[in-house]
Structure 1
Amino acid sequence: MVDRANRPSALNAPSASAPGSQVDIVGQGGSQKVVATLPSGESVEVLLFGATVTSWKSNGGKTENLWVSEKADLTGTKAVRGGIPVVFPVFGPPPKSGHATSSLPQHGFARASRWEFLGKSTVEDALESDSVKLDFGLDRQGLSDEARKAWPLDFGLVYSVTLSKDKLQTVITVRNEGDESFEFQFLLHTYFRIQDISKVAITGLSGTEYIDKVLDATTHTQSDNTLKITGEVDRVYKDIKQDTTSITEDGKPRFDVVRDNVKDTVTWNPWIQKAKAMGDFAPDDGYKNMVCVEIGAVDGWQKLEKGEVWEGGMLVKSLL
């Protein structure tokens, strides 16, 4: 793994068969997914298409923490609307020309490629015995012909999803396996399930500069420590100094999102009109029950030389 300062505690499983935990591969074809359940009832589901986390239940398995659209395509033919899609190697629309990602679709290829399940990891000296770690891999050979042509670079991705009691850790490792350097962006487009958007506040962004895509991509600074959602929100917060961004609901803590070697966070809610305009967003008023707080490295580019490795991700705590 990559050594770095201020790294949150790992939630590594102590062995390939954590005591009492169960891991199954269910479904067929593009709908195939890995389901892990702890003895206490907590569970996580990861669709092999996109390595997209489509369910994370905490509180003994009673509380679903992720929002997935009722019209989300879970057949492996298009990116999933909801859960935790993996954005790589470009965030948003790619540069129009002159960059290695310019021929890629919006948000790159990772969320629309089939990943390989690498199994459960064996890790010694785990901090938490009741945890299970799932590893997923993607490299150039796993891409479609179209994606390989659009991004003709050799790379290797390992995406680790670790489930623990009331916690979920998601970390990606990017390796340059070719002879030439490349640049990339990375984002975890997390859709959190909430009860009532009118009672939600996002904290931990005070003093941070952000690009407001709703206001013609103009730059502003978050003056208040509390961001409330009262309309369409699409902001890219850059170089955040605090490690943790929190979500409260009705004044009570709901989620802590701890950034791991990434400094940017996107906040997004489509609100009324945009929700209705998206064909795979349902129900139309589903915007009331979700909010996206998306950690990543999207302000500028990460660069890897031949053989170099980069790692980043998040640790989410459910606080119910």
Structure 2
Amino acid sequence: MPNLSTLALPNLKNYPYCKINIYGLVPTCIVRLYGGQVTSWKNEQGDELLFVSSKAVFKSPGAIRGGIPICFPQFGTHGNLEKHGFARNRLWLVDDNPPPLPVNSGIKTYADLILKPSEEDLKIWPHRFEFRLRVALGPKGDLFLTSRIRNTNTDGKPFSFTFAYHTYFSVSDISEVRIEGLETMDYFDNLKGKERFTEQGDALVFESEIDKVYLDTPPKIAIIDHEKKRTFVLRKDGLPDAVVWNPWERRSKTILDFGDEEYKHMLCVEPAAVEKPITLKPGEEWKGRLELSAVPSSYYSGQLDPDKVLHG
């Protein structure tokens, strides 16, 4: 049985959350029923690995600024739907009838949530669906998110959607961070009218605002925090793209639920399906999976050493 509890928060403006842990100890994870959103992930030392803004608002109608918001049924802004879709702004339920765990999955504890459209949702996006989300921890504290989206339309109509795990990582200093695994990839630059470019250089480093959608990316990406000597390793399946975002100084001052200087301590790297929308016929199901791990890393000539996590 999962070590799972659903707790009511003392502030009634906040929504309840599920706390996931292993045998009552760290590592731990908190996923809130509001938004189906992970807002905390701590390692064995109790270090917080996800960024949540000090100005984040934990109540409807907005999304929580930080953690891992879920962008569905769209990423970005298109048509009548709100930016990044409505899934991150809805109250999810604990799933009483989740799909079974795969054999020998290595998952030790988990929570299953479900989202179905309300009548109001159907007015703005006229498609019936079941969105099942499993948030799990492995024995070493790795964090797993598995999304299963099924078309339950009874009118025979397919629907299409885009998707992202809008993951906010906590970093020591954005100027001390690099990303490996996206070099030579094509990307759309949202700061330049979504013009298409090819990434140059051996790795991504950060000196100014960035908002890019990398296309057909590899299944493994590494975020290297030199100051903390920590590497986040992202492994993804069913999510071909990767969004990289940091608002930097000028943009940060325009975001109401974000501190002016907080851009220095966060980086969004978001496994996504953006360029090519996913289409489901009635009865069909899509699955997108994200695995996150945080490992100690040392450096030699600017490269990961000794594990070479990108190629392991």
Contact 1:30 1:77 (8 Å CA) reproduced: no
Aligned counterparts, 1:301-316, within 5 A:
301-316=277-292
Contact 1:120 1:134 in 2 (8 A): no
Q: Distance in 1 between the 2:292 and 2:57 partners?
A: 25
* 1:230 aligned residue: 207
User: Does residue 44 of structure 1 match 2:29?
Assistant: yes
Structure 2 match to 1:104: 81
Residue in 1 that maps onto 2:123:
149
- CA contact 1:171–1:311 (8 Å) conserved in 2: yes
Q: Counterparts of 2:105 and 2:151 in 1: how far apart (Å)? A: 30
Correspondent of 1:128 among 84, 90, 106: 106
Aligned residue number for residue 66 of structure 2 = 82
Aligned with residue 49 of structure 2, among 56, 60, 65 = 65
Task: Encode CA deviations 1:175-207: one digit per residue, 9 max, x unaligned.
Answer: 000121000011000000011111000110122
| AA partner of residue 169 (structure 1) | F
Supply the distance in 2 between the matched residues of 1:249 and 1:217 (Cα, whole angstroms): 28
Question: Does the residue aligned with 1:214 lie in a helix, a strand or coil?
Answer: helix
**How far did residue 23 of structure 1 move?**
3.0
TM-score computed with the length of structure 2 as normaliser: 0.87
Which aligned pairs between 1:221-300 and structure 2 lie closer than 5 A?
A: 221-240=198-217, 242-250=218-226, 252-282=229-259, 284-300=260-276
Q: Which residue of 2 aligns with 1:177?
A: 152
Q: TM-score, normalised by structure 1?
A: 0.85
Q: Is the 8 A contact 2:179 2:223 kept in 1?
A: yes
Which residue identity does 2:19 align to in structure 1?
Answer: V
By how many angstroms is 1:30 displaced? 4.2
- Give the Cα separation in 2 of the matches to 1:59 and 1:296: 28
The answer to which structure, 1 or 2, has the higher relative contact order (CA under 8 A, 6+ apart) is 1
Contact 2:178 2:206 in 1 (8 A): yes
Corresponding letter in the other structure for 1:89:
P
Whole-Å Cα distance in 2 between the matches of residues 34 and 47 of structure 1? Answer: 6
Please state how far the C-alpha of 1:115 moved relative to its aligned partner. 0.6
Structure 2 counterpart of 1:197, from 167, 174, 189: 174
In the alignment, structure 1 residue 23 sits paired with structure 2 residue 5 = yes
Judging changes above 3 Å, is the alpha-carbon distance between structure 1 residues 144 and 274 closer, same or farther for their aligned structure 2 residues?
Answer: farther
Partner of 1:162: 136
1:54 is aligned to 2:39: yes
Q: Is the 8 A contact 2:17 2:32 kept in 1?
A: yes
Note the C-alpha offset of 1:144.
6.1
Is the contact between residue 24 and residue 36 of structure 1 (CA under 8 Å) also seen in structure 2? no
Tell me how far 1:295 sits from its aligned partner: 0.4
Range with bigger deviation, 68-77 or 119-128: 119-128
Tell whether the 8 Å contact from 1:190 to 1:293 is kept in structure 2 after alignment. yes
Partners in 2 of 1:125 and 1:306 — Cα distance? 28
Sequence identity of aligned pairs in percent?
Answer: 32
Residues 144, 314 of structure 1: alpha-carbon distance in 2 compared, 3 angstrom cutoff: same
Q: Distance in 2 between matches of 1:229 and 1:119?
A: 44
Distance apart, 1:126 and its partner CA = 3.2
Residue 250 (structure 1) shift? 1.3
CA-CA distance at 1:305 after TM superposition: 0.7
* Matching residue's letter, 1:175: R
Counterpart selection for 1:117 from 94, 107, 111: 94
Q: Give the secondary structure class of the aligned counterpart of 1:317.
A: strand
Distance 1:119 1:280 in 2: 34
Distance (whole Å) between structure 1 residues aligned to residue 281 and residue 202 of structure 2: 38
Q: Give the alignment's Cα RMSD to 1 decimal.
A: 1.8
Alignment length (residue pairs): 288
Change (3 A) 1:306 1:144: closer
Query: Structure 1 residues 180 and 295, CA, compared in 2 at 3 Å: closer, same or farther?
Result: same
Cross-structure match for 2:294: 318
Quote the Cα distance in structure 2 between the aligned partners of 1:237 and 1:173. Answer: 23
Picking from 197, 201, 212, the partner of 2:189 is 212
How far 1:123 moved relative to its partner?
3.6
SS, match of residue 95 in structure 2: strand
Task: State the alpha-carbon separation in 2 of the partners of residues 124 and 170 from structure 1.
Answer: 14
* Structure 1, unpaired ranges of 5+: 1-16, 95-101
